Amino acid sequence: MDRRTAGVDAPERHFACTRCGACCNRAPELELGESAAFAETFVLRLMMRIYSLPRALSDFVSGLPREEASAEFYGTKRLLGQFAATSWPAKVKRDGRAVDYVQYLSLSVLPLDLGAGSCAALEGDTCSIYARRPLSCRSVPLHYSRPAAAAARDLDAFTATPGYRCDTGPQAPLVIAGGSITDAPTLAAHADAHDQAEADRRWKSALVKAMKTGEHGLPSPREVEAQAASGALTASMLGAWRVGGNNGAIARAQLLLEAQCELIEQTMQRVELDRDTAATLMAMLREYRKAAQTRSG
Ligand code: SF4
Ligand code: SF4
């Protein structure tokens, strides 16, 4: 049976990256604890986003057969619990009735989109930092925040993207078999991402506390929730790094600010930027310089 027509009833998939570079069309989202390692590579922003999941499986709408829906629901729930900074109950109006949901606050790091249409680490078709690329890049196309139950569908959707030249032929390694991910590098990336989430737990909790008290000008979790329909909120990394420095998650917040200042200055000289992006970079530069002076003064 052709694997494209097999659907999720026969979750067996082959995949190899040919390093065409096509999916490096934007910068990768990072875990909080990865931010220090990429402060000289990307202009970083703290990203605050809400994910919602019904409290009960019976309210989970997926269009999948019951067993698959159940596997996807519980897998998603477990992963949201692992990666989210905090969660709270909420009622969501659906089809005229109030449904019990859980809102999960995700705190991650997103390189600023410089409008170039590609990741800042891409040189030609090649990743210039391949050996130390972020966890999300290491787990392409089976992101570590997605449940194994959705892996075959995720892979199909990814590899069907126009312009992507992934090898999915039978000669490529088997990456999904019997409904499980079997690819060793992907599994290693998932394990590292879960370890990172565990290591970031205290830092994220401290950051949630800072958000609740409005420290560092950060929005509260409820403010992030209130505007969830229009997307994620971002802020400079100053608050995240200061909180991380205070609770021992990072050792050299000062150096990270200096590295970002240098990178922002280089970026503003090198890259043609639209007005909004240039204004964001200028605001970050002013904020980081002031913070650096305050600390060293
Ligand atoms: S870090 Fe490398 S692999 Fe990841 S998106 Fe950028 S260029 Fe691609
Ligand atoms: S589109 Fe596919 S082949 Fe190309 S870099 Fe991304 S994963 Fe690799």
**Residue 18 CA, closest ligand 2 atom number:** 3
What pLDDT, on the 0 to 100 scale, is given for residue 5? 37
Q: How far is the CA of 3 from the centre of ligand 1 (A)?
A: 28
Question: What is the C-alpha separation between 35 and 24, in angstroms, rounded?
Answer: 19
Return averaged pLDDT per consecutive 10 residues of the chain, 297 residues in all.
Answer: 42 93 94 97 97 96 92 97 97 92 98 90 93 97 96 97 97 93 97 98 97 94 93 95 92 90 95 93 95 68
| Separation of alpha carbons 38 and 41, rounded Å | 5
Q: What is the pTM of this model?
A: 0.92
For residue 252, the model assigns a pLDDT of 81
- Ligand 1 pocket test: which of 122, 130, 136 has the largest number of ligand atoms within 8 Å of its C-beta? 122
- pLDDT at res. 10: 58
What's the CA gap between 12 and 9, in Å, rounded? 9
Distance 294 CA to ligand 2 centre (A): 44
Query: Which amino acid residue places its CA nearest to atom 8 of ligand 1?
Result: 24
Phi/psi at 228 (5° precision): -60, -35
Q: Rounding to the nearest 10 degrees, give the CA dihedral for residues 153, 159, 5, 79.
A: -10
Q: Which of 13, 15, 18 for a ligand 2 pocket mutation test, highest count of atoms within 8 Å of Cβ?
A: 18
Supply 240's token pair.
Answer: 């995240």
Residue nearest to atom 1 of ligand 2 (CA): 164
Assess whether the C-beta atom of 137 lies below 6 angstroms from ligand 1. Answer: yes
Residue 124 · residue 73 · CB < 8 Å: no
Separation of CA 140 and ligand 2 centre (Å): 8
Task: Of 190, 130, 188, 140, give the one whose Cα is nearest residue 16.
Answer: 140
Query: How would you classify residue 95: left for phi > 0, otherwise alpha for psi between -120 and 50, otherwise beta?
Result: left
How far is ligand 2, taken at its centre, from the CA of residue 195, in Å?
25
CA distance 113 to 239: 20
Sheet containing strand 180-181, edge to edge, reads: 13-14, 174-177, 180-181
Instruction: Decide: 121 in ligand 1 pocket, CB within 6 A.
Output: yes
Neighbours of 253 (CB within 10 A): 23
Residue 114, burial from CB neighbour count under 10 angstroms (0-12, 13-18, 19+):
buried
Instruction: List pocket residues of ligand 2, CB cut-off 6 Å.
Output: 17-23, 140-141, 164-166
Distances (CA, A) of 159 to 16, 51, 156, 196: 10, 25, 5, 27
